[in-house]
């Protein structure tokens, strides 16, 4: 090909490229494979770590730490506080918990104020969003930190819509106590609670929030005193409260623990490690972040974990597993791959005098 023909061909390709928009690759997911790269509906890796879910009006919203750029260990570090700059909190939406549409960064970093909690030089972790029926507001709580993790505070943001933008209201130490790993839980009566690792991560505080969910009410309890539990995830099953936590080993995995209580503020009783199967003693090389009840399904819960990649945090993966409730025992068995069929009603087989009952149909 001579130069003239080559130039014409290049021009034609360029012109075609501007006229015909390149079709974004649409992705459909059919199952959950923990630890693999999960793609959103545009074909990009899902980036939402230390996450929490919100089920609102038939849609799930997934909020998490949007980790971008290089992971660094600061020069002054005396421990493994690997970090990426704060970029913000991302949000994805889904109807089926498998296919997630990127809704954008709903709480972005504030780049022009080095003192701001959301400045890239700070740390923003474990965002959770709840909906307040009375105020009709979406309320986000997150762990806001200094790069050396000495701030230990909670930051609160608010929005009229689940997909933001959220307005940042500020930070404080709830109940005048340190607040690092944290989650939120809304009970059936509409009361909301913050669970947070306090007293240098040694003690788990459970704090009732004000009716608008924006502050601590002043009522709180100290739990698991001196036991160093982190990464709290709460759910309610058959009237009892369950709390899934990790131990305290930074980005490295350790053994999970489940606890149960009759009342949300305690007293909590430790049951043991609910994980079973391959690498269960290391929580499948992951750390708890949230437990989501599957909307519309009775007794169906998904336990969600982060498999941190401490040297490349943005490539940390997700481990989501169905909670097994067989015979009243709560376990989280490892599954290589699973789909929502695991929550389908199990065939019921009962003998009633001379009648067999199978899925509520009788066979004489
Ligand atoms: C973990 C915590 C993470 C992050 C990390 C930093 O213990 O669960 O959210 O804070 O420490 O090393």
Domain 29-363, architecture per CATH = 5 Propeller (2.115)
What whole-number distance in Å separates Cα of residue 324 and Cα of residue 333? 7
- Scanning the structure block, which residue is given the tokens 């990009």? 44
The pLDDT of residue 297 is 86
Q: Is 177 exposed, middle or buried (0-12, 13-18, 19+ CB in 10 A)?
A: middle
DSSP type of residue 135: T
Residue nearest (by alpha carbon) to ligand 1 atom 12: 250
Q: Write out residues with Cβ below 6 Å of ligand 1.
A: 50, 81, 125-126, 181, 230-231, 248, 250-251, 287
What whole-number distance in Å separates Cα of residue 180 and Cα of residue 329? 30
Residue 18 binned pLDDT confidence (cut-offs 50, 70, 90): very low
Q: Give the start-to-end residue ranges of the domains of the chain.
A: 29-363
pLDDT value at 19 more than 90: no
Mean pLDDT of 311-336: 96
What does pTM read for this prediction?
Answer: 0.90
What whole-number distance in Å separates Cα of residue 167 and Cα of residue 165? 7
pLDDT value at 4 more than 60: no
CA 2 to chain centre: 58
User: Tens of pLDDT along 184-202?
Assistant: 999 999 999 999 999 999 9
- Ligand 1 centroid to Cα of residue 80, in Å, is 10
Contact between residue 158 and residue 89 where contact means Cβ atoms under 8 Å apart: no
DSSP type of residue 99: S
């Amino acid at each position: 090909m001579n130069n003239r023909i080559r130039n014409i061909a290049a021009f034609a390709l360029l012109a075609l490229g501007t006229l015909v928009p390149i079709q974004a690759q649409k992705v459909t997911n059919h199952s959950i494979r923990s630890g693999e790269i999960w793609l959103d509906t545009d074909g990009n890796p899902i980036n939402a770590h230390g996450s929490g879910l919100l089920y609102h009006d038939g849609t799930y919203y997934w909020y998490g730490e949007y980790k971008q750029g290089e992971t660094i260990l600061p020069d002054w570090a005396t421990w493994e506080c690997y970090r990426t700059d704060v970029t913000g909190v991302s949000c994805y939406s889904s109807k089926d918990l498998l296919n997630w549409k990127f809704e954008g960064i709903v709480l972005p970093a504030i780049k022009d104020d080095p003192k701001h909690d959301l400045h890239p030089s700070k740390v923003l972790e474990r965002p959770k969003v709840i909906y307040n029926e009375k105020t009709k507001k979406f309320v986000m709580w997150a762990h806001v930190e200094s790069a050396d993790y000495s701030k230990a505070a909670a930051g609160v943001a608010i929005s009229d819509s689940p997909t933001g933008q959220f307005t940042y209201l500020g930070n404080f130490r709830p109940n005048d106590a340190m607040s690092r790993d944290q989650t939120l839980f809304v009970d059936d009566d509409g009361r909301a609670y913050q669970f947070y690792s306090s007293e240098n991560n040694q003690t788990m505080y459970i704090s009732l929030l004000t009716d608008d969910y924006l502050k601590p009410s002043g009522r709180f309890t100290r739990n698991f005193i001196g036991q160093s539990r982190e990464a709290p995830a709460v759910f309610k099953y058959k009237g009892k409260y369950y709390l899934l936590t990790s131990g305290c080993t930074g980005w490295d995995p350790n053994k999970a623990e489940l606890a149960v209580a009759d009342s949300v503020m305690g007293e909590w009783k430790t049951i043991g490690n609910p994980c079973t199967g391959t690498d269960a003693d290391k929580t499948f090389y992951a750390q708890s972040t949230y437990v989501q009840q599957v909307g519309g399904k009775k007794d169906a819960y998904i336990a969600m974990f982060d498999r941190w990649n401490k040297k490349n945090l943005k490539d940390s993966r997700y481990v989501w597993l169905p909670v097994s409730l067989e015979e009243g025992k709560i376990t989280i068995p490892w599954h290589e791959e699973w789909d929502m069929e695991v929550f389908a009603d199990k065939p019921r087989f009962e003998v009633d005098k001379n009648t067999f009952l199978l899925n509520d149909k009788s066979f004489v």
